[in-house]
Amino acid sequence: MKMKLCFVFGTRPEIIKMSPIIRKCIENKIPFFTIHSGQHYSHKMSRLFIDELQLPEPDHHLDIKSKAPHRQGDHTGRMMIELEEILLDERPSVVLVQGDTNTVLAGALTASKISTTKSFTGLNMKLAHVEAGLRSYDRTMPEEINRIMADHLADYLFAPTRNAKDIAISEGVKRSKVSVTGNTIIDALNHGLELGKGKKSILSKLGLKENPYMLLTLHRQENVDDRGRLQKILQGIRRIVKKHKMPVVFPMHPRTAKKLKAFGIKIPPSIRIIKPCGFIAFLQLEAGACLALSDSGGVQEESCALGVPCVTLRDSTERPETVEVGANIIAGVDPESIAAAADKMLSEKRKWKNPFGRGDSAERILKVLEKDNK
Ligand code: UD1
Ligand code: UDP
């Protein structure tokens, strides 16, 4: 039987990072279908990326939003119920999940549970985890739980780097299951930059072309749902603005917008809030910035690949390669540490090698799957 792939995604970064594999499937005429969990639902967090990255309409849309951060079991469970129906009906040979969200956990658990019924249903469903082997070693993060589970359930682990492969193997995952493929963010980034050519840049729209600026993103549960940490981060940013006399552009995640409102925290005018951007515009903002300040995983990778220094507003990272090459520094949330990290990254040379591959990750991933599922 010919290989049939299923892509499960639901959030902004999953759409972006799955897009190169989906596009390659179309190019190579590999049968596939897609399931959007509905985890991200605002236009600027989901639909915008499907349109911009020229992806087909999801074949199934579950419309499953999170009710509250402390109801992650409910969120994951509701997704699993609907995913199971679809997977039993569609019978894909491989289910692909990407990253570390609740959508990933739901997809991974559902596909693996179905595979245990193989002897009496004949369903031989495999699970592939794209971006495997990442660890922050901080189990207070929902993402860490999700990525550990996905790695240990997967039949195929697509590790972005050698280091990620070693981590998975050190935890007892069979070596033969793990392939180093680079990160599909590089494929997506190349595509995004290409799509942006000839289009009016967001920098001119925002009047940023002539002057230096910094870019800020924030959305992690441990940062934005915690009033004290959020305030400390903003204090740190204010210090940087005061010292370096540069504006900060802040495309704001809806979670952060909601929390700032609920906490009654006001953002000073030197931090310029804009709506979440499309991928092309965001890459332009990132590439043009003197410095990225962020708690995002994807921003750590992209800024590294674009040659832009990054200050990570977290206590840990699952992307240590960015720190090792000198592109990133883990600043925590103490205002003084954030300001010192920015000083350091602004004064150092921007000369490092991108550790996430050449932009052929989608091809490499499909090669492994095709070889094994003829
Ligand atoms: C999720 C992922 C996180 C990932 C991030 C990417 C989990 C546990 N978290 O975090 O790993 O880095 O996506 O951005 O899976 N909201 C909207 N509109 C949307 C989406 C969210 O208003 O389109 C608001 C809602 O109030 C929602 C809240 O943001 O309750 C949190 O959304 P959720 O998907 O649970 O987590 P993210 O913070 O987006
Ligand atoms: N991104 C975007 N617009 C924005 C902010 C981010 O297109 O306003 C993209 C960014 O280029 C990166 C991805 O979203 O590829 C990162 O997503 P996010 O920070 O939400 O999640 P994480 O990577 O932390 O899981």
Cα(18) to ligand 2 centroid in Å equals: 13
Cα(283) to ligand 1 centroid in Å equals: 20
Judged by its nearest atom, the ligand closest to the C-alpha of residue 70 is 1
Residue with CA nearest ligand 2 atom 9: 279
> What are the average pLDDT values for consecutive 10-residue runs of the chain, which has 374 residues?
93 98 98 98 98 97 95 97 98 98 98 96 95 98 98 98 98 98 98 94 90 96 98 97 96 98 94 97 97 98 98 98 98 98 96 97 98 91
Instruction: Report H helices in 245-333.
Output: 254-263, 279-288, 297-306, 320-324
User: Rounded to two decimals, what is the model's pTM?
Assistant: 0.98
- Contact 299 CB / ligand 2 (< 6 Å): yes
Q: Is 364 helix (H, G, I), strand (E, B) or coil?
A: helix
pLDDT of residue 1: 64
Give φ, ψ of 129 to 5 degrees.
Answer: -110, 115
Q: Answer for the pair 103, 143: CB distance below 8 angstroms, yes or no.
A: no
User: Residues 343, 221: one domain?
Assistant: yes
Q: What is the largest CA-CA distance in the chain?
A: 67
Task: Return the structure tokens found at 196.
Answer: 């942006």
287 domain residue, yes or no: yes
Probe target for ligand 1 pocket from 9, 11, 317, with the most ligand atoms within 8 Å of CB: 11
User: Residues 164, 218: one domain?
Assistant: no
Residue with CA nearest ligand 2 atom 24: 296
User: Residues 334, 363: one domain?
Assistant: no
Cα(260) to ligand 1 centroid in Å equals: 15
Cα(44) to ligand 1 centroid in Å equals: 12
User: Residues 125, 240: one domain?
Assistant: no
Starting at the edge strand that comes first in sequence, how are the strands of the sheet with 60-61 ordered?
60-61, 32-36, 5-9, 94-98, 126-130, 156-159, 178-180
pLDDT of residue 31: 97
Measured CA to CA, the distance from residue 6 to residue 254 in angstroms comes to 28
Cα(312) to ligand 2 centroid in Å equals: 14
User: Residues 365, 335: one domain?
Assistant: no
User: Residues 229, 306: one domain?
Assistant: yes
247 domain residue, yes or no: yes
Query: Which atom of ligand 2 is the closest one to the Cα of 286?
Result: 11
pLDDT of residue 55: 98
Residues with CB under 6 A from ligand 1: 11-13, 39-42, 45, 66, 100-102, 142-143, 219, 254-255, 258
Q: What is the number of structural domains in the chain? A: 2
Measured CA to CA, the distance from residue 191 to residue 37 in angstroms comes to 24
User: Residues 97, 77: one domain?
Assistant: yes
User: Residues 9, 158: one domain?
Assistant: yes
- Contact 62 CB / ligand 2 (< 6 Å): no
- Contact 189 CB / ligand 2 (< 6 Å): no
Nearest to 232, CA basis, from 204, 202, 208, 265: 265
Judged by its nearest atom, the ligand closest to the C-alpha of residue 49 is 2
- First CA to last CA across the chain, in angstroms? 7
Query: Which atom of ligand 1 is the closest one to the Cα of 45?
Result: 23
Give φ, ψ of 343 to 5 degrees.
Answer: -55, -50
Query: Which atom of ligand 2 is the closest one to the Cα of 296?
Result: 24
Cα(326) to ligand 2 centroid in Å equals: 21
User: Residues 229, 324: one domain?
Assistant: yes
191 domain residue, yes or no: no
194 domain residue, yes or no: no
Please give the residue range of the domain that contains residue 253. Answer: 200-347
User: Residues 146, 241: one domain?
Assistant: no
User: Residues 271, 343: one domain?
Assistant: yes
- Residues recognised as catalytic: 219
User: Residues 249, 165: one domain?
Assistant: no
353 domain residue, yes or no: no
The CATH number of whichever domain residue 309 belongs to comes to 3.40.50.2000
Query: Which atom of ligand 2 is the closest one to the Cα of 294?
Result: 19
189 domain residue, yes or no: no
